[in-house]
Amino acid sequence: MDWTALRVSLWLGAGTIAILLPFGIWFGRLLAVHQFRGKVLIEALVTVPLVLPPTVLGFYLLVMFGARSPLGQAFQSLVGQTLPFSFEGLLLASAIANIPFVVQPIQRGFEAIPSDVRDAAACCGLTPWQRFARIEVPLAWPGILTAAILTFAHTLGEFGVVLMVGGNLPGETRTLSVAIYDRMQAFDDRSAGVMAATLLAIAVVTLMLTTTLSRRVGLRRG
């Protein structure tokens, strides 16, 4: 069992949620509430990472992060190391790859709020920010929760993008799913089996948690 890889995986999952959730709430709500030109194109772009082969996504991210790109150069001059093959680079790649998993459930969550309810909140004297915090977020909560759990589960299982952008550096970019592949290559079936079972257990527990939480939300709402 590669505990370091497990730690990298868990940090990557938590970090991706921390980066992506605020963005997802802002952007998902924007798509749910506002009608604007080019919305269909933006919705398609948001979904692209979902259907793209991970190697293709990884390739473009590598190009974007490379020493010749403005982003790669900026990161190198600020932090003093390259973006690819670092945990930071992996985190950024993971955040981009997970955009559809965050934006779509949150968008559906906000779309499910009747416009009359939103209007009633305004007529109750709530400012736009109060309406968001006291009415909209509590009502879109199941969508937000689904987004967080999907992102976490998907990050833990991601393989192609991790290998392309992060490589296989122990303690830095070697996640549990990469470690499984690594052990299999070395004919260490036992270690691979333990780690695969760990990932399976985490997946089952996560899904059980989702079901329980969403049922509780359902109860609370009558």
Partner 1 sequence: MADRRLSVSLRQQAPIPLDLDFTCDPGDVLAIFGPSGSGKSTILRSIAGLYRPEHATIRANGETWSDTASKAFAPPHRRAVGMVFQEYALFPHLTALGNVMTALGHRPSGERRPRAEELLRLVHLSDHQDRRPQQLSGGERQRVALARALAREPAVLLLDEPFAAVDRTVRRRLQDEINELRRTLDIPLVLVTHDFDDVVRLATRLLILERGKAIASGALTDLTSRPDLPWLREAVGLGSVFDARVVRRHSQRGLLELTFDGGALFAADRALDAGATVRVRIAARDVILATSEPPGLSLHNALAATVSAVAEADGDRVVVQLVVGSLLLLAEVTRDAIARLGITVGARVYALIKSVSIEL
Provide the minimum distance between the beta carbon of 214 and partner 1 in the complex, in angstroms, as a whole number.
14
Count CB atoms within 10 A of the CB of residue 176.
24
Q: Sign of dihedral through CA atoms 215, 136, 93, 52? A: positive
Nearest CA among 49, 90, 64 for reference residue 177? 90
Q: What residues between 134 and 173 interact with partner 1 by CB under 8 A? A: 134-135, 138-139
Binding flag, residue 121, partner 1 (CB under 8 A): yes
Q: Which is nearer to partner 1, 80 or 125 (CB)?
A: 125
In whole angstroms, give the CA distance from residue 134 to residue 139: 9
Q: Which is nearer to partner 1, 4 or 214 (CB)?
A: 214
Binding flag, residue 133, partner 1 (CB under 8 A): no
Q: Which is nearer to partner 1, 7 or 221 (CB)?
A: 221
Binding flag, residue 221, partner 1 (CB under 8 A): yes
The answer to whether the CB of 101 falls within 8 A of the CB of 66 is no
In whole angstroms, give the CA distance from residue 54 to residue 101: 14
Q: Which is nearer to partner 1, 126 or 194 (CB)?
A: 126
Provide the minimum distance between the beta carbon of 24 and partner 1 in the complex, in angstroms, as a whole number.
21
